[in-house]
């Protein structure tokens, strides 16, 4: 078994016992990248020299007998909308193709302080707008389980890298399901923490009231270890919540007897693939066998989450992306004869079709005469959605649903039909609208393709969903599945 197959906690033990070194581990991951990434195409930028330098630094600490954190010496990757000092950060857009940030995002800084080794930056849908990573301005990423299928999005590169052994763990961002949906598609664990639990400072914004950074890992234990490192208040982020961060690893007990689990009927949407529903229902039966009390519940305003989201998120994107005008940094059309033409050409050439579609939709929703009819009404619906969750959580500890209504689809299957693509996030968008924590874990295979089970928790109760997800993982037959990726 290659070193890339091991988890964070297994590799930590091996490093402590001198069974391997961080340099050896890092070199082995780069060898893996060299072998499989021409097929997967997860990475946009590699930082091999800096990574090996960091690995050697950790090895010196280990050789001196120093105690190191669990992530020390562990190779990881970051989604390419998370700023990294001195390393290109593109958002998979022509607009930022040559942008090199002068600072680290808070999450990147915290991981580096904990000794994690940054391998490079990972592909994504442009400015995190998409559900398949087909919207990357550079190239699509492929699903390690089937190279003819998408890995999901927008964190497709981050998820595919973990599934294919091209990183031990990664970080993604989740605005409407961009961690959990691709985690479901690629058979790994992906978590969206509560809005405000993890700093967004240095995350290039799509929709500021919805974006949240989270871990993508091989299993739930690794997820808890990464969350321990990145969670917590950050004075640089005004939306970061100042409250104590527990040790999430302590929540990992394989026991859920008496846990009250709600099954929201609205998160089993019309058009859901039959085998996906069957596998999720089997997972719920397994939870009941383990002693959980599972009952159907209703979230009556959930059907309005998708249209409300596609007013709120594009409106915020319209505002956030106004800064890309060719004046300060990023792409600029150099052939324009005047400033107004330069603005127009820069934005029309610098942004892809999906980004421009959402900017126009958001600008329209915010325009005079339509603000109250669209954007304000969407915010009221968002409040109703949050109130539905609050009401259900008075009687239940956790909610369970599919992470995606389908298995990964083939390239081009939905790219000509934006509405069909948007429906890929039917099971995840309501959770973002309510700002709640949620995690996707593998729960089986439909014709050889992964299916994800989503656990949703109360605000700032990541511990309970980690406990439930860990217990299910340990008691199911889908612990750490790996794609039989064979490349020449």
Query: Is 208 known to be catalytic?
Result: no
54, 132, 158, 178: the catalytic one is 178
Query: Is 154 known to be catalytic?
Result: yes
- Report the CATH fold assignment for 3-262+394-475: Amidase signature (AS) enzymes (3.90.1300)
Residue 483's pLDDT is 86
154, 173, 240, 401: the catalytic one is 154
Exposure string of 34-73, with b = 16+ CB inside 10 Å and e = fewer, is eebbeebbbbbbbbeebbbebbeebbeebeeeeebbbbbb
Q: Which residues of the chain have pLDDT under 70?
A: 481, 486-488
The domain spans of the chain are 3-262+394-475
Residue 74's pLDDT is 98
Residue 481's pLDDT is 67
Residue 419's pLDDT is 84
Residue 347's pLDDT is 96
Residue 147's pLDDT is 97
Residue 401's pLDDT is 98
Query: Is 178 known to be catalytic?
Result: yes
pLDDT one-digit tens code per residue, 148-198: 999 999 999 999 999 999 999 999 999 999 999 999 999 999 999 999 999
Question: Residue 180's CB: how many other CB atoms inside 10 A?
Answer: 35
21, 22, 54, 79: the catalytic one is 79
Residue 359's pLDDT is 97
Residue 478's pLDDT is 82
Instruction: Tell me the whole-structure pTM to 2 decimals.
Output: 0.97
Residue 163's pLDDT is 97
């Amino acid at each position: 078994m290659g070193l890339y197959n091991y988890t964070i906690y297994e590799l930590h033990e091996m490093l402590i016992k001198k069974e391997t070194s961080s340099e050896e581990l890092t070199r082995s991951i780069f060898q893996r990248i060299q072998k499989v990434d021409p097929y997967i195409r997860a990475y946009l930028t590699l930082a091999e020299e800096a990574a090996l330098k960091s690995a050697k630094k950790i090895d010196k600490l280990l050789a001196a007998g120093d105690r190191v954190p669990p992530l020390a010496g562990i190779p990881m990757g970051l989604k390419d909308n998370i700023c990294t000092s001195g390393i290109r950060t593109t958002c998979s857009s022509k607009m930022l193709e040559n942008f090199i940030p002068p600072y680290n995002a808070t999450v990147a800084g915290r991981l580096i302080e904990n000794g994690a080794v940054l391998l490079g930056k990972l592909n994504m849908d442009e400015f995190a707008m998409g559900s398949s990573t087909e919207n990357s301005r550079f190239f699509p990423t492929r699903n390690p389980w089937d190279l003819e299928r998408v890995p999901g999005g927008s964190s497709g590169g981050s998820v595919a890298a973990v599934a294919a052994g091209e990183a031990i763990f990664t970080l993604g961002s989740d605005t409407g399901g961009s961690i959990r949906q691709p985690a479901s598609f690629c058979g790994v664990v992906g978590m969206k923490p509560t809005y405000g639990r993890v700093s967004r400072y240095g995350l290039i914004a799509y929709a500021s009231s919805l974006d949240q950074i989270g871990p993508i890992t091989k299993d739930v234990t690794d997820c808890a270890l990464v969350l321990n490192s990145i969670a917590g208040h950050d004075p640089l982020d005004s939306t970061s919540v100042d409250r104590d961060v527990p040790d999430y690893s302590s929540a990992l007990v394989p026991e859920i007897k008496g846990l009250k689990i709600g099954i929201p009927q609205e998160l089993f949407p019309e058009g859901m693939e039959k085998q996906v529903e069957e596998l999720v229902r089997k997972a719920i039966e397994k939870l009941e066998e383990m002693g959980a009390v599972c009952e159907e519940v209703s979230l009556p305003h959930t059907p309005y989450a998708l249209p409300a989201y596609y007013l709120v998120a594009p409106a915020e994107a319209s505002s956030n992306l106004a800064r890309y005008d060719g004046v300060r940094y990023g792409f600029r059309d150099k052939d324009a004869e005047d400033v107004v033409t330069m603005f127009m050409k820069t934005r029309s050439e610098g942004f892809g079709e999906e980004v421009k579609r959402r900017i126009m939709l958001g600008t329209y929703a915010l325009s005079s005469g339509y603000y109250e009819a669209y954007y304000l009404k969407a915010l009221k619906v968002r409040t109703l959605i949050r109130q539905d969750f609050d009401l259900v959580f008075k009687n239940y500890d956790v909610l369970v649903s599919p992470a995606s209504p389908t298995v990964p689809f083939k390239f081009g299957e939905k790219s000509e039909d934006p509405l069909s693509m948007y429906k890929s996030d039917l099971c995840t968008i309501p959770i973002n609208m309510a700002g709640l924590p949620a995690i996707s874990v593998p729960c089986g295979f439909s014709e050889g393709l992964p299916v994800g089970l989503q656990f949703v928790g109360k605000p700032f109760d990541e511990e309970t969903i980690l406990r439930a997800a860990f217990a299910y993982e340990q008691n199911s037959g889908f612990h750490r599945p790996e794609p039989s990726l064979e490349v020449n």
